[in-house]
Amino acid sequence: MSNKLVAGNWKLNGSLAENKVLLDGLQSPDGVEVAVCVPYPYLAQAGLLLKGIALGAQDVSEYDRGAYTGEVSASMLAEFGCHYVIVGHSERRALFAESDAAIGRKAAAALSGRLVPIVCIGETLDEREAGQVMAVVGRQLAAVLDVLGVEAMGQVVLAYEPVWAIGTGRSASADQVAEVHGLIRAWLRDQGVAADGVRILYGGSVKPGNAAELFALADVDGGLIGGASLVAEDFMSICRAAV
Ligand code: PEP
């Protein structure tokens, strides 16, 4: 497995002035890959200011061109220097009604445009309490695999993000993360995907205080960081924990 990947998800935050302060405070420590996924209008600014840090977006259209008002294609993101794009974040699933199948098509569109999709999967608290974690995660993964096929599935990054841990300050425990990441890796292997090469990130209230413990787990290949990626000092401390 390559170096760990730590990706920041800025969500709907930022301004030209705030971004400059934040971006000027980022450097990539040796031995870890760092990415920031910024709102579309700030891709050009971030592309100019980032040094040694990969650029990403937070969503992509399943279409490449045509009468789809408001959509942004993978080829457009690639022109702005994006390497990564988040696909299927739980906020997109829940607030914008993105289906498992549409997320599969977005992952395919990303790969066709030579972007690496960071595909988010994860259960709600009700689903966890009903003992359905792998039923849900397996269904979400299967929808992506259906569209991509086995070989392309080996090229995505996965982010296990339990919905109840996102933005709540309540991270999943190390035991919970280790269990689900191991099950995801085994699920991929069972489907014939080259599972050892797939980076599986953890996301959900990762902070400087819990990052090292989570990143030390066997099947955790980095993190997807929301709130803490908006403060340079915190984000850098999380990145250093992944070295
Ligand atoms: C996220 O938005 O992907 C996320 C993990 O958010 P937070 O780190 O704020 O929980």
pLDDT in tens, the chain (243 residues): 689 999 999 999 999 999 999 999 999 999 999 999 999 999 999 999 999 999 999 999 999 999 999 999 999 999 999 999 999 999 999 999 999 999 999 999 999 999 999 999 999 999 999 999 999 999 999 999 999 999 999 999 999 999 999 999 999 999 999 999 999 999 999 999 999 999 999 999 999 999 999 999 999 999 999 999 999 999 999 999 999
Q: If you measure from the C-alpha of residue 122 to the centroid of ligand 1, how many angstroms do you get, rounded to a whole number?
A: 12
- Pairwise CA distance, residues 144 & 152, whole Å: 10
pLDDT at 2: 80
- Pairwise CA distance, residues 5 & 242, whole Å: 8
Question: What is the span of the domain harbouring residue 145?
Answer: 4-240
ipTM: 0.98
- Pairwise CA distance, residues 210 & 238, whole Å: 9
pLDDT at 150: 98
Q: Which of 89, 91, 123, 181 is catalytic?
A: 89
* pTM greater than 0.90 (yes/no): yes
Task: Give yes or no: 161 in active site.
Answer: yes
CATH of the domain at 173: 3.20.20.70
pLDDT at 17: 98
List ligand 1's pocket residues with C-beta within 6 A: 9, 11, 161, 166-167, 203-206, 224-228
Residues annotated within the binding site for substrate are 9-11, 167, 205, 226-227
Q: Which atom of ligand 1 is nearest to the CA of 89?
A: 3
Q: Which atom of ligand 1 is nearest to the CA of 166?
A: 10
Question: If you take atom 8 of ligand 1, which residue's CA is the nearest one?
Answer: 226
| Number of folded domains that form the chain | 1
pLDDT at 193: 98
Q: Which one, of 10, 7, 67, lies nearest residue 202 by Cα?
A: 7
Q: Read out DSSP for the chain? A: ---EEEEEE--S---HHHHHHHHHT--PPTTEEEEEE--GGGHHHHHHH-SS-EEEES---S-SSSS-TT---HHHHHHTTEEEEEES-HHHHHHS---HHHHHHHHHHHHHTT-EEEEEE---HHHHHTT-HHHHHHHHHHHHHHHHHHHHHTT-EEEE--GGGTTSS-PPPHHHHHHHHHHHHHHHHHTT--GGGS-EEEESS--TTTHHHHHTSTT--EEEESGGGGSHHHHHHHHHTT-
